[in-house]
Amino acid sequence: MADSSAPHSNGGAGAEAEAVPRSPAPPRRVALVTGITGQDGSYLTELLLSKGYEVHGLIRRSSNFNTQRLDHIYHDPHATPSAARPPMRLHYADLSDSSSLRRALDHVLPDEVYNLAAQSHVAVSFEVPDYTADVTATGALRLLEAVRLSSKPMRYYQAGSSEMFGSTPPPQSEATPFHPRSPYAAAKVAAHWYTVNYREAYGLFACNGVLFNHESPRRGENFVTRKITRAIGRIKVGLQTKVFLGNLSAARDWGFAGDYVEAMWLMLQQDKPDDYVVATEECHTVEEFLQAAFGYAGLNWKDHVVIDKKYFRPSEVDCLQGDSSKSRRVLGWKPKVGFQQLVEMMVDNDIELAKKEKVLVDAGYRDPKQQP
């Protein structure tokens, strides 16, 4: 005989569905990103949002908006309901101002801090060495100190650079000694050792990512790879005929920025903090980049490239090629985009950009002599 006290499975009269208690949703992880408006910052923000993070970015006060790389994910809080906006917020702060960093950390209370901000152009660092050191080196120290003094434990990522290796012969790994050849590289070395010191002295979960050159369609237009692909687009539509470059023999390990931000995130997910080299382990000269990019566009680079001595550095770095075996072994990271695919991605983007620029020129809204 059936037990009349059992709940009816057919939902008949007198039956009540028993409420199943739900486990509370895990709290959303919070990340704070300096340099969020840059190439790496935009890709990292996309990655973190895709993983369910709430992302806060620090930006410097400027008379001009510099958020183009975030336009596709940033929504004006006055124009978009909160439910329709991605969980991303921007805050004014500056690595040269300790108080603004403390306020930002105290307000946001992030779980993870990614320090990507810097004066990151090597050639420019020779022109503004004091500023480069203040922002790139001492700025990292200010942020580390703010993290140390915070009421909440935070994991910290410091963006390093292959330029720190300088004239040390390749391949370069975590065990390779640094020999910086520019104010930028020297400042990055200082930031690296500040990070190691705070990890050892105060027990901070602080990691250095020594990233080799990483490019994308979002790369700044005064960096050599983007300068080349930008010129190709303008040449194809008739807005430009020549591009002026420096040392074509310089060799670099070029990867895709979208791949490299995943390595940043993986470093902060480990049980113990450490330092990692991130690289493709392939090396190409600037001339090889020219051949690949111009060739893909159906052009001969020798018809359009002019060597200008002003683009040579006071102290050159001949070859940077990474050994990322530790990152591949410990983090399980490896690059997905190869050299030729990266080149084609950038050329395709800049040809389309040049076509839009041509419309403005033809309509009289832009001077055709105004080159990026």
Whether the CB-CB separation of 268 and 157 falls below 8 Å is answered with: yes
161 part of the active site: yes
315 part of the active site: no
* Catalytic, out of 54, 112, 163, 215: 163
Residue-wise over 126-138: b if at least 16 C-beta within 10 A, else e? Answer: eeebeebbbbbbb
* Catalytic, out of 53, 114, 157, 184: 184
User: Assign residue 357 a region: left if phi > 0, alpha if psi is -120 to 50, beta otherwise?
Assistant: alpha
CA pair distance 278, 11, nearest whole angstrom = 59
- In 3-state terms, the chain is what percent helix, strand and coil (to 5)? 40, 15, 45
* Catalytic, out of 161, 162, 182, 327: 161
**Sign of the CA dihedral with 347 first, then 286, 303, and 370 last:** positive
Sheet with 30-34: strands ordered across: 88-92, 54-59, 30-34, 112-115, 155-161, 205-211, 275-278
249 part of the active site: no
> Which residues are annotated as catalytic?
161, 163, 184
